[in-house]
Amino acid sequence: MENTTLQRFESKFVKTDNCWLWKNPCKDGYGKFWINGKKIKASRASYILYKENISAELSANHTCNNPRCVNPEHIYAGTHKENMKDMLIAGNHNNARKTHCKRGHEFTEENIYYRPTGRECKNCIQLRNNKSL
């Protein structure tokens, strides 16, 4: 019998009561899987295999905040900004607990810009941009 992509995928994780845990995550904590000739994050592969394709602009974000999880019920297609916001709310980012930026501006929803490296204060961005004029 031919080993399908789904069978190959399902041999790579263990189901727990909640999450489906990737057996051999990479050093960044995420599993990787070859699908359609391309190596992608296992969470993205899970979404594609069990739900639908994801456009290149969106990522496979976790509701459980567990990078090893490939349970499709814990994964949604969302923007990078949504993912950063989820990480910060869950406290899974290095500056998630900070209430103010390094210059003392308060982190409010109106004053936050989400970057891959974390939150940045919009007031500080504006000050930096004005200096370059």
Residues 36-49 have pLDDT tens digits of 899 999 999 999 99
Residues 53-103 have pLDDT tens digits of 999 999 999 988 888 999 999 999 999 888 877 776 766 655 566 777 877
Q: What percent of the chain has pLDDT over 90?
A: 47
Provide the pLDDT for residue 132. 56
Residue 1 has pLDDT above 50, yes or no: no
Provide the pLDDT for residue 70. 97
**Which of 21-25, 96-100, 107-111, 116-120 has the largest mean confidence?**
21-25
Q: What does the chain look like in DSSP terms, one character per residue?
A: ----HHHHHHTTEEE-SS-EEESS--TTS--EEEETTEEEEHHHHHHHHHT----TT-EEEESS--TTB--GGGEEEE-HHHHHHHHHHHT-STTTT-SB-TTS-B--GGGEEEETTEEEEHHHHHHHHHHT-
Residue 30 has pLDDT above 60, yes or no: yes
| Domains of the chain from N-terminus onward | 1-78 (3.90.75.20), 94-133 (no CATH)
